[in-house]
Chains A and B, each alone.
Chain A
Amino acid sequence: MTNTTHTLRTQDLGVRFGAFQAVADVNLSLEPGARQALIGPNGAGKTTLINLLTGVLKPTSGSIHMGGTDITRLPGDKRARMGLARTFQINTLFPSLTPLLSVVLAISEREGLGATWWRPLKGCTAVFDEAHALLRTLKLDGLADVPVAELAYGKQRLLEIALALAAKPRILLLDEPAAGVPQDESGELFEAIAALPADISVLFIEHDMKLVFRFARRISVLVGGRILTEGTPSDIGADPRVREVYLGSSHLHHHPHTHA
């Protein structure tokens, strides 16, 4: 197994908060163009794992590699500039900006314009054109000039994805992209995700098993901070241990969170 076949790979990754081992011995690898789901009961450490991958949290053990580079100690913004983008489970947007300016900001940072102080933003027409085009692909173009704080919740979820895509990522980590979105709209949201360029590697956390089995080509199951098992949707669907976890028979204290 060489580094170049995997765009993102962790080795024995773990983090401990005091006496609590939140994530332990995670060996995860994401192939180019992956559509991989990360599932597991509440409190399994899924978001913590994403936070480790993106540099929000520092691991206490193990390492993270992107392509051939060890990124374990790199700050989050550097990882993002290398092509690692994410969305947040809880909307983390720019409430006082408009969707257009939010996306313009993300593109301008990607293009290294963030320190440009000597010319007006208005003059950056290429950035605005790209922002309009991106909003159009996510059907947000009609809301380009509405303050983000006034957008409907579902639209804010789409903007989460728009901001991640504006970075033109190689790897995209989606933390419950459809969380809180009504079921009929969550399908739409995943259609947008399915339509992403094939060469982007996507890892997504999702609780809705119907969506997971429809869109994932590979599934990793995280339980108690450890990878329980990993495989194709049919492997996972047939795995008695996964069924046990999700039926709650051995983890009654975890509230089963499946809508399937």
Chain B
Amino acid sequence: MKALNLSPAQLRIAEAAFWLALASSFFLLPDKLTLMSQVLIFGLFAVSLDMALGYAGILTVGHAAFFGAGAYAAGLLAKYGWSEPFSGLVFALAVCGALGYALSYLVVRGADLTRLMITIGVCVLLYELANRLSGITGGTDGLQGVVIAPVLGLFEFDLYGKTAFGYAFGVVLAMFLLVRLVLRSPFGLALRGIHDSRKRMTAIGSPVEARLRMAYAFSAAVAGVAGALLAQTTQFVGIESIGFNRSAEVLIILVLGGTGRLYGGMIGAIVYMLVHDWFADMNPQYWMFWLGIFLIAAVMLGRGGIMGALSRFVRTGKAR
């Protein structure tokens, strides 16, 4: 098969084009801006999961724990008086980073199945907690009365989602660049090493568990920002933000896009959300059926997700 060769410079142009295309939906899809904001947010969420799952190799089906915690953190902060959005994001990032680091001691130790159970358990636990503390969280009705101040004191969140889109785009791009920096750092290389051979990493003196704990905390913090973004842009936190379904959904998005490939999460979110939206429009009653068929077909045809399929056609010259 003839593969298209991309030099590092061309690759950078492709990256820029990808983000410009996303940004252009502000002008091209003015009545779909709410959907596009959600695409961006779920893309970031999937990228955060990729850090834990694709790069660090931590099998988790409970990542909504951090997404939801971030959403509630930002939502509650705004509801009880602090409505400046950026500091809300930083607050959610700190809360989820700390929560992730604390939980990493449970998660990192076990084998794959143990991790699976622990992450599901924590997620279910937090869901029930949010449900029980309905006085604070609003329970199943969701957290209402979230008021977010204008971005930079200038742009008020409007009904058409223009500000929400611009804000989400800026934050997601910034967080994505941060994740990219982390994955291309010596720490990121260590994660790739752990993914390849834990045994060898120990033999070259790497404290593997400490590295994994850090990766998990990082991943949790980024997931928290994604959750906070959703809370701020919709000015609402639904309890499903923290549920098991959301954890499974983001896993589907990532696997669809391709794990361990940085852009897999973003691409997966774009395809999944748009197909989701399209099927729901076309067949409001049975769209889940078609979505299921689409997912099975996509995964069976393209091993390694969309990015995996792409990488068979496009070779990148001396990467990194």
Write the residues of chain A forming the contact surface with B, with a CB cutoff of 8 angstroms: 54-56, 75-78, 80-81, 85-86, 88, 92-97, 101-102, 104-106, 108-110, 113-122, 124, 127, 145, 163-164, 166-167
- Interface contact A94-B197, CB-CB below 8 Å: yes
**Complex Cα gap A253–B182 (Å):** 54
Contacts of A97 in B (CB 8 A): 189, 192-193, 196
Minimum Cβ distance to chain B for residue A257 (Å): 24
Contacts of B204 in A (CB 8 A): 80, 85, 105-106, 109-110, 163, 166-167
- Interface contact B208-A124, CB-CB below 8 Å: no
Q: Is B200 an interface position by the 8 A CB rule?
A: yes
Contacts of B210 in A (CB 8 A): 115
Q: A92-B199, A117-B181 are in contact. List 7 more A-B contacts (CB 8 A).
A: A88-B203, A92-B197, A93-B200, A94-B193, A101-B192, A114-B206, A114-B211
Q: Which B169-227 residues sit within 8 Å CB-CB of chain A?
A: 181-182, 184-190, 192-193, 195-197, 199-208, 210-211, 214, 218
- Interface contact B189-A108, CB-CB below 8 Å: yes
Q: Give the number of residue pairs across the A-B interface with Cβ within 8 Å.
A: 119
Contact of B203 among A76, A108, A115, A122 (CB under 8 A): A76
Contact of A109 among B184, B199, B206, B318 (CB under 8 A): B206
Contacts of A117 in B (CB 8 A): 181-182, 185-188, 214, 218
Q: Is B2 an interface position by the 8 A CB rule?
A: no
Contacts of B192 in A (CB 8 A): 94, 96-97, 101, 105
Tell me the interface secondary structure of chain B in the complex. helix
- Interface contact B185-A118, CB-CB below 8 Å: yes
Look across to chain A and name the residue whose beta carbon is closest to the beta carbon of B196.
A94
Contacts of B182 in A (CB 8 A): 117-118
Centre residue among A55, A78, A108, A117 by max chain B CB count within 10 A:
A117
**Complex Cα gap A85–B184 (Å):** 26
Look across to chain B and name the residue whose beta carbon is closest to the beta carbon of A106.
B204
Name 11 interchain pairs, CB-CB below 8 A, sorted by A: A78-B207, A80-B202, A92-B199, A94-B192, A97-B189, A109-B204, A114-B207, A119-B181, A122-B184, A124-B186, A145-B318
- Interface contact A121-B189, CB-CB below 8 Å: yes
The answer to whether A86 and B193 touch (CB under 8 A), given A114-B186, A124-B186, is no
Contacts of A120 in B (CB 8 A): 181, 184-185
Look across to chain A and name the residue whose beta carbon is closest to the beta carbon of B218.
A117
Contact of B200 among A75, A94, A104 (CB under 8 A): A94
Contact of A76 among B187, B188, B202 (CB under 8 A): B202
Contacts of A163 in B (CB 8 A): 200, 203-204
- Interface contact A113-B186, CB-CB below 8 Å: yes
**Complex Cα gap A97–B197 (Å):** 11
**Complex Cα gap A150–B210 (Å):** 31
**Complex Cα gap A44–B203 (Å):** 23
Minimum Cβ distance to chain B for residue A112 (Å): 9
- Interface contact A108-B190, CB-CB below 8 Å: yes
Minimum Cβ distance to chain B for residue A229 (Å): 30
- Interface contact A54-B185, CB-CB below 8 Å: no
**Complex Cα gap A164–B205 (Å):** 10
